[in-house]
Amino acid sequence: MIQAYRKNNNNFGKNAETVIHPESCILTCELNGAWTLNITHPKDNEGRWKGIEEEGVISAPTFMGEKQLFRINEIERTNDSIDVVAYPIFLDSADDCFVIDTRLEGKTGQEALDILMKGSKYSGESDIKTVSTAYFIRRNLIDAINGNSSPGEILYDNYKIIINNQVGTDSGVEIRYGKNLEEIEQHIDYSNVVTRIVPISYNGHTLDKKHPWVDSPLIKNYAKIYTKEIKFDDVQLQEDVQGEVEEGTIVCSTLQELRTELKKKCEEQYANGIDKPSISITCSMVDLSQTEEYKNFKNLEQVSLGDTVHCINSDLGILIDARVVNLEYDCILKKIEKITIGKTEYNFFDDAYSTVDRVEQAIRTDGTLIGQQVMGIINGVKAQLKAQSTAAQKQAVRAVMFEDLDPSSPTFGAMCIGTLGFEIASKRTADGRDWEWSTFGTGQGFFADFIVAGTMLADRILGGTL
């Protein structure tokens, strides 16, 4: 049943004022992207269409449950019908849930969501166990959630948001496809395929010169050999180690041991699918249902957003794991109408709801600077140059570090300079294990925790408000 609630009716536990009978009601969902409900309703003689109003709420069955709520955002009326665009009701929180000053220190995903939504009508669920720290000052709830670093993948369930490390399941669903199947739209990309890896360790050690590569088990499935050199700087020979060893680094006492580890690293790459092309398959279940090949795709009717699908490429004779990254759900027939399987880049909420906490978002489209993002830029540059400061202690080819570790010395401090830029520090961290870098310069510009200047000359200086 699909219902239309008036805009001032928030009693969603009861039936709505109007049960509507739309011609079409399709929910389109993108993994970590927009969820959009599109409805077309005739101007029927019973006048049910009149129950659909601006800012009202539509209740419809979806793959998330029998009664999912969507706030109407757009309405277009013609002589014969009314077209509606609506979004998950949780996104109301971008307007009506404001975080004044909340500090999350060492919190898991669930703990953070509980704190951010305390006292509101919204709730969250998360399996993210990694702890992190974040401060939110004068932010709406969507901004606050989006601002957390790598928050995971999302699902909407009315006033609840689910943010897990990965949504969906792997229930062993398989499909088989080939180049002659006209009823599906497919894209196969070989640009990143590697079937022969030439591994290089830290400080340039390689495998045996006569056979300096490791081949994929699938190498004969392709028309040519896809060769690539891959550097594994986390595999090091003991004699090359200088200073403190980073966590996760494999230190080998002999060259033979190092070569064994390099081979393992290559095998891990193949196990992760580097020897397989990336695919994107989009198919209409309605179109496929009329074909003989439908039996190879029928089980897709049971998958959901984020699920893993095992795709068997009949032409190459290989199996490629991909995920459901987009689906169209028919809320009238209660089944998937169209599905896309492939890979998706992490993007979380639509840009319309996220305005801060990313380095790229510190600059408006007209080129002016948003003041409150400057600290975010500094943190981003710190992270980028951290790799350089580590390299400076190990490889003078890429970077060089100058430091005076004597606190009583008038030249106490450090400077790292290399191909990525420079960074300067005048004091150590609290634990004394590293420098507290505060001034940076890269090809993108100059950044500092504090800037002291006399007269500044520029064509223009543009700023923003907090």
Q: In the predicted model, is pLDDT for residue 204 greater than 50?
A: yes
Q: Pick the residue with more confidence: 269 or 140? A: 269
The model's pTM: 0.69
> SS3 for the chain, per residue?
CEEEECCCCCCCCCCCCEEECCCEEEEEEECCCCEEEEEEEECCCCCHHHHCCCCCEEEEEECCEEEEEEEEEEEEECCCEEEEEEEEHHHHHHHHCEEEEEEEEEECHHHHHHHHCCCCCCEEEECCCCCEEEEEEEEEHHHHHHHCCCCCEEEEECCEEEEECCCCCCCCCEEEECCCCCCEEEEEECCCCCCEEEEEEHHHCCCCCCCCCEECCCHHHCCCCCEEEEEECCEEEHHHCCCCCCCCCEEECCHHHHHHHHHHHHHHHHHCCCCCCEEEEEEEHHHHCCCHHHHHCHHHHHCCCCCEEEEEECCCCEEEEEEEEEEEEECCCCEEEEEEEECCCCCCCCCCCCCCCCHHHHECCCCCECHHHHHHHHHHHHHHHHHHHHHHCCCCCCEEEEEECCCCCCCCEEEEEECCEEEEEEEECCCCCCEEEEEEEECCEEEECCCCCCCCCCCCCCCCCC
CB of 214 closer than 8 Å to CB of 199: yes
Integer Cα distance of 281 and 176 in angstroms? 11
Confidence label for 192 from pLDDT (cuts 50, 70 and 90): very high
Task: Specify the range with the lowest mean pLDDT, choosing from 344-348, 367-371, 437-441, 447-451.
Answer: 367-371
Which residue would you say has higher pLDDT here, 293 or 339? 339
What digits encode the pLDDT tens for the residues 31-55?
989 999 999 999 999 999 999 999 9
Does 89 score more than 90 pLDDT?
Answer: yes
Q: What is the mean pLDDT of the chain?
A: 83
Q: What average pLDDT does range 169-183 have in this prediction? A: 81
The arithmetic mean of pLDDT across residues 99-111, rounded, is: 87
Token look-up 């200086």 returns: 461
pLDDT higher than threshold 80 for residue 451: no
What is the average per-residue pLDDT within 436-449?
A: 75
User: Rounded to whole angstroms, what are the CA distances from 418 to 141, 233, 243, 377?
Assistant: 40, 18, 19, 20
Q: How many CB atoms lie within 10 A of CB 241?
A: 15
d(CA 47, CA 41): 11
pLDDT at 450 over 70: no
Query: What pLDDT does 86 receive?
Result: 97
% of the chain at pLDDT higher than 90: 51
φ, ψ at 207 (rounded to 5°): -80, -175
Q: What number is the average pLDDT over the span 255-283?
A: 94
**pLDDT value at position 202?**
93
Lowest average pLDDT, out of 175-184, 337-346, 371-380, goes to: 371-380
Q: What is the pLDDT of residues 118-159, one digit of tens each?
A: 989 999 999 999 888 888 888 888 888 875 444 689 999 999
Q: Are 440 and 416 in contact (CB under 8 A)?
A: no
CA angle, corner 39, sides to 38 and 42, nearest 5?
A: 155
- How far, rounded to the nearest angstrom, does the alpha carbon of residue 293 sit from its chain's CA centroid? 33
Q: Is the pLDDT of residue 73 over 80?
A: yes
Torsion angles phi and psi, residue 38, rounded to 5: -115, 125
